[in-house]
Structure 1
Amino acid sequence: IYGYLFLKYLSPLKERAEAILFHHLNYDRYDKVETDFKDIALMIKLTDRVDISMQGRGGVFDLEEITEGAGSRFAPEYVELFLKANAKYQIIEHLNSGVYEQEIETIQKKLVLSPADIDLYLQMLAYSIDFRSEYTVSHTVTTVGISVEIARLLNYSAEDKKRIYYGALLHDVGKIAIPLEILEYPGKLSPQAMKIMKTHVQISEDILRGAVADDICEIAVRHHEKLDGSGYHRGLAAAELTEGQRIVAIADVLSALRQRRSYKEAFPKEKIIEVLKEQSEKGKLCPAICNLVIGHYDAVMANADSSCEAFLSVYDNLMLEYERIYNLVSKL
């Protein structure tokens, strides 16, 4: 259901999203639903099962499982077409050898995406992390809003603001690999759990390096670095941290302080300013940017909140539709 909703609300594939919603429905149950994407959903169901079967058997294709399911789990015509295609094009062999992976990479390099499409796909990637936890759902979008507002106050060009935007958007993408019980732990994390939590930065770098511009990647993965070298994951110091990286680091702190989390309530303005001053004086966060934010605090937060409204509206609609669809699908 979430896969369907992400594609519908946060991708250029909204018109085909329904195929994902039904790709686990058995062939003999389609008399209970109405969809224009039955064929695509049934193709995905079959190929999804082929992949799972191969993974569980070290790359060996279980022909019997597929053929026995024809007419009940799988569409008979697609099973027949798959077997013919495999005989003609050696699908299983090419999957195991890596030939198809190379082919996909070649195709991807030829794809031409508009800036709007790229932005939607990146939003889908970034916000999918937040949707795992009710407490962090608006953290990324708030960090983005605050970062862009600070860049605006510093008179950044449109191009530089865009780089700040993407760095902030992708800063927590590595949290996709952090267990939910750690993300939502209602208290102070143990040293072992904190060690796991901190790995999200390295994971973010592993995901982003080579996939986005280096300067955007560095903005994203340096948001926990401190000017005095006490941060992570590299322990960099002031001389190694650009202004853009410092902006997102401060925006990340502000977003975390302003929001309710599983382990704390939202901090009031006075407490947030106190924390910024303290971190600045201790040499953790950039004094110049902290002072700028403090001096324009109400305007920065109001504008950031305003920029978040559209996404939060999408989130509200998504959650309402999730409940509706869950109740519907559970009856199938």
Structure 2
Amino acid sequence: MKRITLKDIVMIIQRTLDSMDDRLEGHGEKVAYIMYKLLKCQGGYSDEQILRMITLTVFHDIGVYKVEERNHIVAIDLEIPMNHSVYGYLFIKYFSPLSDLAEIVLGHHLYPKDFSHSAEIKIPKEALLLNLADSIAVLQLRFNKIDPRWILNKNSNYLLEEHKELFKKACDEYDLLEKIQGDTYLSELYEVLEKRELSREEIISYARMLNYAIDFRSEATILHTITVEEISWQICKIIGLDDYKSTIIKVASMLHDIGKISIPINILEKKGSLTKEEFEVMKSHALVVYKILSNMGIDDIRDIAALHHEKLNGTGYPFGLRDDQISKEVRIVAVADILSALIGKRSYKDVFSKDQVLSILSNMVSNYEIDKDICRLVIENYDYIKEKVKANTKDTIDLYNNLMNEYEAMLNYFDKISFVLK
């Protein structure tokens, strides 16, 4: 696996979110750059603290898959629902290396008027700074220009005086408005992010956060992602692949369905068979994965993630590859993907029995669709793999279910509580 930096992760996350709604294209990166300059003007932060906060800022809207909330976010001066802030907060808290910063995302659509001196939930002051950065980026998005008076004339209910001073300082010292209006900020932002290399654990953590946030719309989809990851890992161990290759396959398996962020929920969760037209839309997710992960120097991960629907006989998609054009790594995730779909419950099917699963896999081998050797190992170790999947995914599934419960509880509380800055 090549050296993967914060820049790589930020690009993957931003491209994935862009594929969901092009109205917000590049929004996270722009907000992150503004936040970067505001934090520099504020002072008192280490380089590592700034790096972590601007990374967080890139995906501050990761919870905003709901169409109605995206419509609010691209508007000006509307009261924005808390739903997506809660989504983002919970996924960052439980599935990212930035859990200690999650409250910043929770409070990024709050204003000074929303805080009191005694409250149940404490929000860092950086949340208000993120709100300011977000507001600046939205103004530029909507009007393609920013009059500084739009910011400086806000009253104290909506913007702290000290943050107005930071805004003026960032404009004077860093030409903030000229940079973001002229789109010259991106190379500077990436230069900063490129310096921070990620550990294996951080890469996996970010990939999980992205996947689970995308899959939040559909319980079946998120269970599928978790299961494909574990089945792929178990196949790697049975085959005897080294840790290097196994880790590449693990990361790719976690990213294999990120393209589904662009698929309408009515197709993802349709009860019954898809029409020909709907299936073509569904198939497009593989090409979206390929595009998101291209031109980043991680072609090995890209190909494993994007090509898992290819078939050895050439009938697969997105490129109709066949035979030796399909690597062993791709073949492993392809079998894991099929097995997960067969043993999982979906809106259109119940769980298949062991006999049904083994029969379907054998028929696919006979039709030269999937790798016979990998499939043979899966069939021989079927019960073992299922036991490992059940045992090794339990904690993650429990965490996901607890997250769902916490989400509902937090929304119910928001009408009754106040917030305090810390």
Compute the TM-score of the two structures, normalised by the length of structure 2: 0.75
The correspondence for 2:348, drawn from 248, 263, 275, is: 263
Write out aligned runs for 1:310-329 (5 A). Answer: 310-329=395-414
Counterpart pick for 1:196 among 281, 285, 288: 281
Partner residue of 1:233? 318
What is the CA–CA distance in structure 1 between the aligned matches of 2:313 and 2:238, rounded to whole Å? 25
1:62 Cα deviation after fit: 4.3
1-structure distance, mates of 2:244, 2:175 = 47
Q: 1:66 offset after TM fit, Å?
A: 2.6
| CA root-mean-square deviation | 1.7
Q: Please list, as runs of the form range in 1=range in 2, the aligned pairs for 1:154-233 lying within 5 A after superposition.
A: 154-211=239-296, 213-233=298-318
Residue 244 of structure 1 is matched in structure 2 by 329
Unaligned stretches of 5+ residues in structure 1: none
* Structural mapping, 1:284-299, within 5 Å: 284-299=369-384
1:308 aligned to which of 363, 381, 393:
393
User: More displaced, 277-286 or 80-89?
Assistant: 80-89
Q: Secondary structure at the match of 1:233?
A: coil
How far residue 329 of structure 1 moved from its aligned partner, in angstroms, is 1.9
Cross-structure match for 2:40: none
Contiguous gaps of at least 5 residues in structure 2: 1-85, 418-422
Q: What's the CA shift for 1:34? A: 5.0
Matched, 1:254 2:353: no
User: What is the identity percentage for the equivalent residue pairs of Structure 1 and Structure 2?
Assistant: 37
How far off is 1:25 after superposition? 1.4
Give the CA deviation at 1:187.
Answer: 1.9
Counterpart of 1:40 in structure 2 is 126
CA spacing shift, 1:83–1:145, aligned 2, 3 Å: same
Question: What CA distance in whole angstroms lies between the structure 1 residues aligned with 2:350 and 2:147?
Answer: 52
- 1: CA distance between counterparts of 2:136 and 2:266? 32
Q: How far apart are the structure 1 equivalents of 2:125 and 2:88?
A: 18
CA shift in 2, pair 1:234/1:162, >3 Å: same
Who is 1:86 aligned against? 171
Q: Distance in 2 between matches of 1:326 and 1:145?
A: 32
Q: For residue 91 of structure 2, what is the aligned residue in structure 1?
A: 6
**Is 1:54 aligned with 2:156?**
no
Q: Is the 1:54–1:61 contact (alpha carbons within 8 Å) kept by the matching residues of 2?
A: yes
Counterpart residue type for residue 335 of structure 2: I
Aligned-partner SS, 1:131: helix
Count residues with an aligned counterpart. 331
Query: 1:175–1:257: structure 2 CA closer, same or farther, 3 Å change rule?
Result: same
Cα contact 1:130–1:139 (8 A) shared by 2: no
Change (3 A) 1:184 1:64: farther
Q: Matches of 1:192 and 1:80 in 2, distance apart?
A: 54
Q: TM-score when scaled to structure 1?
A: 0.94
| Contact map agreement 2:112 2:156 (CA 8 A) in 1 | yes
Relative to structure 2, which stretch is displaced further, 240-249 or 62-71?
62-71
How far apart are the structure 2 equivalents of 1:237 and 1:204? Answer: 19
Deviations 1:102-139 (A, max 9, x none): 11110111113222222211221222222221221211
Partners of 1:55 and 1:147 in 2: CA distance: 41
* Contact 1:18 1:35 (8 Å CA) reproduced: no
- CA displacement, residues 201-256 of structure 1 (integer Å, 9 cap, x when unaligned): 11111111244632221111110000100000000001211111111001001111
CA shift for structure 1 position 313: 2.1
Whichever residue aligns with residue 191 of structure 2, its letter is T
For the 8 Å contact 1:258–1:266, the answer to whether it is kept is yes
Q: Structure 2: how far apart are the matches of 1:33 and 1:183?
A: 40
CA change 1:84–1:210 in 2 (3 A) is same
Greater alpha carbon shift after TM alignment, 41-50 vs 226-235: 41-50
Paired with 1:289 and 1:179, the residues of 2 have a C-alpha distance of 33
Distance 2:281 2:297 in 1: 25
Which residue identity is paired with 1:54? Q
Structure-1 separation of matches of 2:150 and 2:119 = 25
Aligned-partner Cα distance in 2 for 1:123–1:217? 16
Cα 1:211–1:318 shift into 2, 3 Å: farther
Cα distance change of structure 1 residues 55 and 214 upon mapping to structure 2, 3 Å threshold: same
| Comparing 209-218 and 228-237, the one that deviates more | 209-218
Task: Output the CA distance in 2 between the equivalents of 1:317 and 1:240.
Answer: 42
Which SS does the other structure have where 1:17 is aligned? helix
Partner of 1:17: 102
Return the alpha-carbon distance in structure 1 between the equivalents of residues 282 and 337 of structure 2. 15
Alpha carbons of structure 1 residues 187 and 75: separation in structure 2 relative to 1, 3 Å:
farther
CA–CA distance in 2 between the matches of 1:33 and 1:94?
39
Q: What amino acid is aligned across from residue 283 of structure 1 in structure 2?
A: Y
Distance 1:227 1:101, change over 3 A: same
Compare 114-123 and 18-27 and name the one that shifted more: 114-123
Which whole-Å CA distance do the structure 1 matches of 2:172 and 2:106 have between them?
30
- Larger mean Cα displacement after TM superposition, 205-214 or 103-112: 205-214
Taking the aligned partners of 2:402 and 2:356, their CA distance within structure 1 comes to 33
State the distance in 2 between where 1:62 and 1:180 align.
39
2:142 partner amino acid: G
The 2-side partners of 1:235 and 1:216 are apart by 19
